[in-house]
């Protein structure tokens, strides 16, 4: 009986509004005739509704208030209107844009598909099924016609590379070694070099010693977009944890404190120096799951070439 | 939506500011009523009214005909009022809301004492004050649903659309509010005036 009462209690509000089905109404009616407490509750709720309907004081204002309100509102609209010429031009353009948009809505509404094609509600699943099948058939064809390109964007140094010399070798586990050249420009400044390898599921391992001091950055690029979405910026604070160098010198501290490489494409500082490869490996492996969906590249930025095209001038460091 | 209203809206979309006045004239009482009921403060309601109609003026081009203008206006007014109350509560400014709650509690106690007095029970105006105070004592979300359903006569679906929630949520809030009101108004249910 108690569970029945609980069930009825959920329905009484709709019952007194007359919103229940015939069967539910009959259920509630038959129950309240046999249950004193539910009967009392329904009666009291009905009285409550009656009290609200007949005794609630609805706020009303005198006509003078509304007249004053209209005046104030008009003043406020006029005050908020643009006064300077450039503001007026901007407002006029905005208004024109909205008018254009309104007209477009009307146009699209007038030429809506349903005016010409009678889409029956019950046939909608068949339309969806047909559309899905069409997409399944068309997708392989489209992929063969327009293959997705492997987009490895390159980062260029502002310096002009004229000489090839030092080699930095990096290899991945389960992969062959890759050699990349480090170049020098006319001022004997070394330029950056990209190792364009998708390392989404790999661990970087450095085999050869580097020639000089510098910084190795890993960059993140969203595979299907030119920009890294906000998630890359969100995890930026965690990315900086990679800058936990084994030896904390003044330079690294300053570097860690900076919000470096948070450009749309470049995301994190990995480590300094080749001798910390094991440290980097552990750190990188631990955080790797956060970078799914990105393609990773390594970027070697030697100390004497502390500028990258994205505008972060690391010379200050 | 009758043709006059449709024309007014079209004119307002075109940038004709004179079309705003007839729309205000038509809906000012509704917006005022809602604003006062939700904010429980006439001065705040004035601000809400202004913000509501300014928003109507500036956003009329976003009004689509898949809903009536009245429902669209309800949505703006209710959300403006709710946002206003939330901002006001955050600022912890001294408003009449706190005062009204205190007044309400004292009123209830006083009424409970005089409930035995048949002369006091006969006073309709007093009963009106109690009913109004009971509604005002509800939490904001429940009060809003009660106002829209009981006094504005909107359906559950319309309220759900205005508050951007499900019909089940509306039904639940209404049920809770009625139960609370039933308890608050119980002393007055046997009054001869009802």
* pLDDT tens digit sequence for B145-161: 999 999 888 989 889 98
pLDDT above 70: percentage of residues in chain A: 34
* Lowest pLDDT segment from A27-41, A53-67, A238-252: A238-252
The answer to whether A56 contacts B127, with C-beta atoms less than 8 Å apart, is: no
Q: Does residue A58 belong to the interface with chain B, where contact is any CB pair within 8 Å?
A: yes
| pLDDT at residue A233 in the model | 34
From chain B, the residues in CB contact with A99 under 8 A are 13-15, 61
Task: Give pLDDT, residue B147.
Answer: 92
ipTM of the prediction: 0.78
Q: Of A7, A47, A52, A71, which to mutate for an interface test with B (greatest number of B Cβ within 10 Å)?
A: A52
Name all domains of chain B by residue range, CATH numbers in brackets: 3-91 (1.10.1740.10), 96-188 (1.10.10.10)
- Weakest mean pLDDT among A206-215, A255-264, B5-14: A255-264
* B6 part of contact set with chain A, CB < 8 Å: no
Tell whether the model's pLDDT for residue A53 goes beyond 70: yes
Using an 8 Å CB-CB cutoff, list chain B residues near A66. Answer: 28-29, 32
B15/A95 Cβ within 8 A = yes
pLDDT of residue A115: 61
Percent of chain A with pLDDT over 90: 1
Q: Work out the average pLDDT over A46-66.
A: 86
For B22, residues 6+ apart whose C-beta sits below 8 A from its C-beta are B4, B8
């Amino acid at each position: 009986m108690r569970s029945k009462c609980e069930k009825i209690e959920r329905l009484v509000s709709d019952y007194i509004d007359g919103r229940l089905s015939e069967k539910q109404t009959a259920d509630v009616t038959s129950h309240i005739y046999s249950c004193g407490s539910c009967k009392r509750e329904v009666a009291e709720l009905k009285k409550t509704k009656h009290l609200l309907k007949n005794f609630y004081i609805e706020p009303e204002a005198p006509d003078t208030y509304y007249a004053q309100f209209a005046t104030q509102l008009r003043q406020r609209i006029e005050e908020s209107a643009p006064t300077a010429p450039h503001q007026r031009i901007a407002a006029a353009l905005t208004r024109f844009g909205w008018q254009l948009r309104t007209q477009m809505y009307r146009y699209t509404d007038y030429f809506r598909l349903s005016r010409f094609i009678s889409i029956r509600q019950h046939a909608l699943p068949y339309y969806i099924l047909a559309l899905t099948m069409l997409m399944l058939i068309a997708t392989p064809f489209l992929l063969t016609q327009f293959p997705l390109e492997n987009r490895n964007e390159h980062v260029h140094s502002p310096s002009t590379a004229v000489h090839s010399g030092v080699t930095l070798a990096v290899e991945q586990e389960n992969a062959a070694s890759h050699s990349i050249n480090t170049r020098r420009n006319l001022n004997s400044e070394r330029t950056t070099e990209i190792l364009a390898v998708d390392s989404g599921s790999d661990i970087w391992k450095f085999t050869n010693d580097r020639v000089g001091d510098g910084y190795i950055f890993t960059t993140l690029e969203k595979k299907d977009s030119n920009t890294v979405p906000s998630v890359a910026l969100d995890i930026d604070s965690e990315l900086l944890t990679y800058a936990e160098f084994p030896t904390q010198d003044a330079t690294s501290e300053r570097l860690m404190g900076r919000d470096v490489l948070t450009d749309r494409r470049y995301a994190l500082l990995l480590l300094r120096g080749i001798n910390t490869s094991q440290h980097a490996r552990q750190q990188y492996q631990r955080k790797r799951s956060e970078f799914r969906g990105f393609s990773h590249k390594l970027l070697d930025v030697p100390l004497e070439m502390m500028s990258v095209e994205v505008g972060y001038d690391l010379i200050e460091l | 939506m009758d043709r006059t209203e449709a024309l007014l809206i079209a004119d307002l979309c075109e940038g004709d500011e004179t079309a705003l006045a007839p729309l205000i004239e038509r809906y000012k009482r509704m917006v005022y009523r809602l604003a006062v009921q939700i904010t429980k403060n006439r001065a705040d309601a004035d601000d809400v009214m202004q913000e509501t109609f300014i928003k109507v003026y500036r956003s009329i081009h976003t009004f689509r005909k898949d809903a009536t203008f009245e429902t669209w206006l309800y949505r703006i007014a209710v959300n403006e009022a709710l946002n206003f109350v939330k901002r006001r509560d955050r600022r912890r400014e001294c408003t009449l809301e706190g005062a009204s709650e205190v007044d309400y509690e004292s009123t209830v106690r006083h009424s409970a004492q005089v409930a035995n007095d048949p002369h006091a029970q006969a006073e309709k105006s007093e009963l009106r004050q109690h009913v109004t105070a009971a509604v005002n004592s509800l939490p904001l979300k429940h009060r809003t649903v009660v106002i829209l359903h009981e006094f504005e006569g909107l359906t559950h679906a319309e309220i759900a659309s205005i508050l951007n929630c499900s019909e089940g949520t509306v039904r639940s809030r209404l049920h809770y509010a009625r139960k609370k009101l039933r308890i608050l108004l119980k002393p007055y249910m046997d009054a001869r005036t009802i």
